[in-house]
Amino acid sequence: AKEAGRNGFAVFAEWMNDSAEQQFRLLADLRSAIGTDQLFLHYQPKLSVARHTVAGAEALIRWKHPEQGLIPPDRFIRLAERSGIINEIGRWALNEACRQLRQWHDAGHDNWTMSVNLSPIQFSAPQLLNEVRDVLARHRIEPRRLILEITESTVMRDTETSLRLLQALARLGVGISIDDFGTGYSSLLYLKRLPASEIKIDHAFVRELENSSEDVVIVSAIVALGHALDMDIVAEGVETAGQRAYLERLGCDYLQGYLLGHPVDPVRFKQLHDLPRPR
Ligand code: C2E
Ligand code: CA
Ligand code: CA
Ligand code: CA
């Protein structure tokens, strides 16, 4: 982080702050972390506005490096993508999240959903469809309980191939969520063709909501657009009660953010969100 902006370029992501040598070492460490308990998942609740309860969780990867401690995904996902080991990590994360969901379903939360982030790289591997099918079967998960989060750039990479894969996944019955919506450069034409079931409104539009009439207009336009296309709307990065009030009034279906719950380990998740259900 000390070498940020050394070449006069703006710093776009944390991984860019690491020197080539640091990245090389980090990658070697990451390779050996796969399959150990250094890599694990935290879960952040997704709240249903209509039901006032937790609808499910998003799985977020964590790496506890033996010397450096907790390393955030923003520092190692890109590295894993450029080296290709994201496929292995992603496969592990998908399986682990579904294994956890099965446990929660068995414990009575059989309507909870699990959202898993997919890298665009995983998306260009043709075996993804089979992997998703296998993991659902292995853990006896109904397809509609699994939601795959993709970013707009996923579809931009190789439009026809990605679209076909997405359509096959949608036919399988899993949910498809467009993450970080509004920050990429995809056009509304792509949105029209995407078999997505959900849009996640990026933090960036939520942050200033209370003081920015522009952001209010943008969020309400996204909600209208999404609903017209029969998609659910999730707002992420909800940190204040004021933001929550706006987002609920503007018609968002689900909310995520520190106000409603931080990402936590699965035991803590169940403790925090295992509320007695109304009968
Ligand atoms: P994302 O998918 O957009 O995830 C949301 C990020 O915002 C998470 O950061 C989450 O901890 C954080 N967050 C949640 N609520 C709030 C809030 O109220 N305020 C703020 N400021 N932040 C909030 P995290 O866990 O560090 O993950 C960063 C990114 O790393 C994710 O962004 C996602 O793109 C990527 N990522 C995480 N896990 C995986 C994974 O298993 N596979 C892949 N391919 N990418 C992952
Ligand atoms: Ca996400
Ligand atoms: Ca996001
Ligand atoms: Ca993000």
- Is the pLDDT at 33 greater than 90, yes or no? yes
Tokens of 101: 């969901």
Atom of ligand 1 nearest to the CA of 61: 38
Ligand (nearest to CA of 119): 1
Taking residue 130's Cβ as centre, other Cβ atoms within 10 Å add up to: 9
Tell me the CA–centroid distance for residue 59 and ligand 2, in Å.
8
- Per-residue pLDDT, averaged over 74-83, amounts to 94
Ligand (nearest to CA of 256): 1
Atom of ligand 1 nearest to the CA of 41: 41
Report residues near ion ligand 2: CB below 5 Å: 117, 149, 179
Tokens of 50: 């209509």
pTM of the predicted protein model: 0.92
Reference 97, options 141, 44, 59; nearest CA is 59
Would you state the pLDDT for residue 13? 56
Q: How confident is the model at residue 277 (pLDDT cuts 50, 70, 90)?
A: low
- Per-residue pLDDT, averaged over 181-193, amounts to 76
- Is the pLDDT at 190 greater than 50, yes or no? yes
Nearest CA to ligand 1 atom 45: 117
Pocket test for ligand 1, best of 81, 100, 117, 234 (most atoms within 8 A of CB): 117
Which 3-state string (H, E, C) describes 93-162? Answer: HHHHHHHHHHHHHHCCCCCCEEEEECCHHHHCCCCHHHHHHHHHHHCCCCHHHEEEEEEHHHHHHCHHHH
- Is the pLDDT at 99 greater than 50, yes or no? yes
- Which residues' Cβ are closer than 6 Å to ligand 1? 44, 60-61, 72-74, 77, 90, 93, 117-119, 179-180, 203, 236-239, 257-258, 263
- Per-residue pLDDT, averaged over 54-78, amounts to 96
Least confident range from 4-18, 37-51, 159-173, 182-196: namely: 4-18
Nearest CA to ligand 1 atom 8: 60
Q: Which amino acid is at 256?
A: Q
Rg (CA), the chain: 19
Tell me the CA–centroid distance for residue 121 and ligand 4, in Å.
16
